[in-house]
Structure 1
Amino acid sequence: MSANNTKHDAVHPIIPREKLDFGLDGDVPKYWFGGDAYKSRFWDALSVIFPPGEKFFMTCVRDFRDRISDPKLLEDIQGFNRQEAQHTLVHRQDNDRLRRQGVDVDKLTKYVDKMLNVDYRKKYSREYTLSITSALEHFTSIIAHSLFDKRDVMKEADHRVRAMYAWHAIEEVEHKGVAYDVMEDYAKVGYWMRIWGLVHASVMFPITIFTIQRQLLIHDGFNAWQRAKLMAKGTWWLFKPGGLLQPMAKHYWTYYKPGYHPWQETEQHGYEEWLAAFNGSKDPVKASEQMRHDLALSA
């Protein structure tokens, strides 16, 4: 069976972009998101999670590699792996920034690595871990709807870190159907396992983020009462009407529909603008800033 030909053709080609320089070894402020400790450490927690998370994604897709004969899907898997490997590399560079602040990054990444790449791999079937992978890939692709909307939610962020997350989101949009196709057409995961994987990820992912964010805030010297106030204010920033997560909400729920496929959603605001800017400069930081400029003009 040809996964891409029998279901939905990918809208965007998977293009690995390698040897990118975001300037993360420069003078990025500790609280790089508008001086806000909660927002900065929320995204820093994501950066800590990504290297072991990308390893998990690639491993879970690789479990079914030998069953696949479709040349287009095999090509897409190769592109998926190359993109995920670059995400790992760049987020490790970003995590070196945390190391320079004295953060025990290795302890935090080992916590995530053990959970995903040891405990989950021992406890759950290969089909179920792929359903979790597909669900997490859904999260990382739909975040582009928040990052690239007209509110410019990252406008207070340092331009270098902002550019890293813009590039990461762009590439997640490009390969968002790969794990799903392997899961559905080769792992033969049915509707209920697919949905349970999303429910599982919907609980595990934020708990993991907030656990690591809490450790970062403890490292920064915030006491329990100060952390509670930061979390209350920050949670409102995440979930309030017009907050960071609102643009993702309707896209999140579509995953529950029977017959859903990631490429049923063909349009991604900001993608073409970023791609045109990057193809012109080959500089991801310039591409991010040009995209923001172009979107502001079209708003």
Structure 2
Amino acid sequence: MSATAHAHHAHPINDAREPRDVDGSDPGPVELHARNVAFDWSETPLHWIPDHPVAANFISVLNLLLPEGERWFVQTYNEALPLVGDDELAATMRGFIGQEAMHAEAHDHVLWEFLDHHGVDPRPYQRQMEWIFRKILGPMESGTPRARQKHLIERLWLIAALEHYTAILGDFALNNTWVESGADPTMTDLFTWHGAEEVEHRAVAHEVAVYFGDSYLRRGRAMLVVLPVLLLLINRGFRFIMRQDSSLRYNYVQQQYHYFRGVRAGVLPKMRHIVFATFSYFRPGFHPNEIGSTAQAVAYLAASPAARNAS
């Protein structure tokens, strides 16, 4: 499988407005552009982290969640783009759109060539995702221009809140123990490539939302909507995969045991860390560059096997 997408005008996103990375490194201007990637799923086992089947299934939930969510990001940004008067921001948004479209396409292939192939039918869950992202969170079809603009701004803040988590998970993908644990190289590369791009463009959604309607109230409200919904969808997705995975017959207590084993082994993120990062989002002076390292992300993207295969 080879997915292709071409970004429009790439654009440097490190300007005077943005603080450097917290680790003090400054990779210089970073151009946001979509990278072509190619993955071959024929050899990847369902439990792609050896000795951690529950952790593997838990992370595989992201494949169920992401394609529709990222298509929604792309659609919303395409709706917002003509309203942006700042050329620099518009160019950054085009780079973001290109990257998110590639992510959606890459994870879409995983649904069919990996999950479906291993007997986990993604269709019922996908229908729910389509309903949420296309019907509930889709653009407002009627109403005054002012009401539609307000609706757009609310959706841009929801995307900013979601991107807070994709950045946290991206940073985890770059700093976990999958490789040491002998995880499947293709799935490891998919999530690390995706995570690295999330870290690379982590400030974009925040800056777009601020450009359209800078409001601490809107920011906080969006997070209070996103957090419970995200937890619910991940939990549902995990139960969905575990029910269909006929090779595992764990009860709830066993699942919890194996989940925490995965956390201790560094193949799953610590919940404590995610909760702490959620609180950081409510700090008035918060900026997404506080999460992760651009230099680390860019270094991985230069070495990613999938990106090199495709080029």
Q: Distance in 2 between matches of 1:79 and 1:164?
A: 19
Q: Secondary structure at the match of 2:71?
A: helix
Determine which of 206, 209, 221 is the counterpart of 2:231: 206
> What is the root-mean-square deviation in Å for CA atoms of aligned residues?
3.1
Determine which of 194, 217, 229 is the counterpart of 1:168: 194
Q: Distance in 2 between matches of 1:86 and 1:122?
A: 22
Correspondence 1:82-121 to 2 at 5 A: 82-96=98-112, 97-121=114-138
Partner residue in 2 for 1:13: 31
Q: Distance in 1 between matches of 2:294 and 2:139?
A: 37
Q: CA deviation at 1:162?
A: 0.4
Q: 117-126 or 57-66, which moves further after superposition? A: 117-126
Q: CA deviation at 1:258?
A: 0.9
Contact 1:103 1:216 in 2 (8 A): yes
Q: CA deviation at 1:4?
A: 7.8
Per-residue deviation, residues 196-229 of structure 1 (Å, max 9, x unmatched) = 2112211111210110111111112379x82413
Contact 2:54 2:259 in 1 (8 A): no
Contact 2:55 2:259 in 1 (8 A): no
- Residue 102 of structure 1 aligns to which amino acid in structure 2? G
Partner residue in 2 for 1:233: 257
Partner residue in 2 for 1:139: 165
Per-residue deviation, residues 128-166 of structure 1 (Å, max 9, x unmatched) = 2221111111111121332223x5245332111000000
Distance 1:183 1:141, change over 3 A: same
Q: Distance in 2 between matches of 1:42 and 1:252?
A: 20
Correspondence 1:215-234 to 2 at 5 A: 215-221=240-246, 226-234=250-258
- Residue 128 of structure 1 aligns to which amino acid in structure 2? E
Q: CA deviation at 1:236?
A: 2.5
Per-residue deviation, residues 6-37 of structure 1 (Å, max 9, x unmatched) = 7327963212101x22222x221121121433
The alignment-based identity, stated in percent, is 21
Q: Secondary structure at the match of 1:64?
A: helix
State whether structure 2 residue 189 is matched by structure 1 residue 179: no
Q: 166-175 or 267-276, which moves further after superposition? A: 267-276
Distance 1:129 1:282, change over 3 A: closer
Which structure has more helix as a fraction of its residues? 1
Partner residue in 2 for 1:191: 216
Determine which of 75, 88, 92 is the counterpart of 2:91: 75
Q: Distance in 1 between matches of 2:160 and 2:185?
A: 30
Distance 1:284 1:45, change over 3 A: farther
Q: Secondary structure at the match of 2:250?
A: helix
Q: Secondary structure at the match of 1:162?
A: helix
Distance 1:122 1:204, change over 3 A: same
Q: Distance in 2 between matches of 1:267 and 1:94?
A: 27
Contact 2:52 2:258 in 1 (8 A): no
Partner residue in 2 for 1:271: 297
Q: Distance in 1 between matches of 2:139 and 2:263?
A: 34
Contact 1:38 1:230 in 2 (8 A): no
Contact 1:128 1:197 in 2 (8 A): yes
- Residue 126 of structure 1 aligns to which amino acid in structure 2? L
Distance 1:7 1:180, change over 3 A: same
Distance 1:166 1:128, change over 3 A: same
- Residue 197 of structure 1 aligns to which amino acid in structure 2? A
Contact 1:130 1:179 in 2 (8 A): yes
With structure 1 as the length reference, what TM-score do the two structures score?
0.80
State whether structure 2 residue 269 is matched by structure 1 residue 244: yes
Q: Distance in 2 between matches of 1:114 and 1:9?
A: 38
Contact 2:48 2:184 in 1 (8 A): yes
Q: Secondary structure at the match of 1:29?
A: coil
State whether structure 2 residue 42 is matched by structure 1 residue 41: no
**Structure 1, gaps ≥5 residues long:** 286-299
- Residue 32 of structure 1 aligns to which amino acid in structure 2? W
Aligned residues: 277
Q: Secondary structure at the match of 1:125?
A: helix
State whether structure 2 residue 174 is matched by structure 1 residue 148: yes
Per-residue deviation, residues 168-208 of structure 1 (Å, max 9, x unmatched) = 0111112222221121112x141111112112211111210
Contact 1:217 1:227 in 2 (8 A): no
